[in-house]
């Protein structure tokens, strides 16, 4: 599932390769492809639309530095928006009760066992 999403996101960013500036047109095309990729990965429509709309607003009109391509800039904007969507900052676990029970859920191969091992240390 994640490989398919990753491939679709890579294809969406190819629209911006070689572009000198970020324009409304190339951002709109890229966001349309990203929204489709998210929907194909079973992301809620409202969440995908809100996310892509927020990224579009933040990306349009930003100056592209000579050392940074438009694709890299849009990737950073998306990363920042995803971090904000997921809660912004990390919070400490409050382990007041003993034993502490934590539910770990995820798809096959998503890293639940690895995460649980790291959490136990």
Q: What is the mean pLDDT of residues 86-113?
A: 84
Whether residue 114 is predicted with pLDDT greater than 90 in this model: the reply is yes
Q: What is the mean pLDDT of residues 73-95?
A: 82
**2-85 adopts what CATH topology?**
1.20.120
Confidence of residue 50 (pLDDT cuts 50, 70, 90): very high
Q: Where are the domains of the chain?
A: 2-85
Other beta carbons within 10 Å of 75: 15
**b/e sequence 6-17, b meaning 16+ C-beta within 10 Å:** eebbeebbebbe
| pTM for the predicted model, two decimal places | 0.65
Beta carbons within 8 Å of 107's beta carbon, 6+ residues apart: 1
Taking the C-alpha atoms of residue 36 and residue 45, their distance in angstroms, rounded to an integer, is 10
């Amino acid at each position: 599932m994640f490989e398919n999403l990753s491939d679709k996101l890579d294809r969406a960013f190819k629209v911006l390769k070689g572009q000198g500036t970020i324009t409304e047109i190339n951002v709109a095309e890229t966001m349309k492809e990203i929204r489709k990729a998210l929907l194909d990965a079973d992301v809620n429509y409202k969440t995908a639309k809100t996310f892509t709309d927020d990224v579009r607003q933040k990306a349009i009109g930003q100056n592209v530095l000579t050392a940074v391509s438009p694709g890299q800039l849009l990737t950073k904007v998306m990363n920042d928006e995803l971090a904000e969507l997921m809660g912004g900052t990390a919070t400490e676990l409050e382990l007041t009760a003993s034993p502490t029970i934590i539910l770990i859920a995820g798809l096959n191969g998503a890293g639940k066992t690895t995460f649980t091992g790291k959490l136990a240390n």
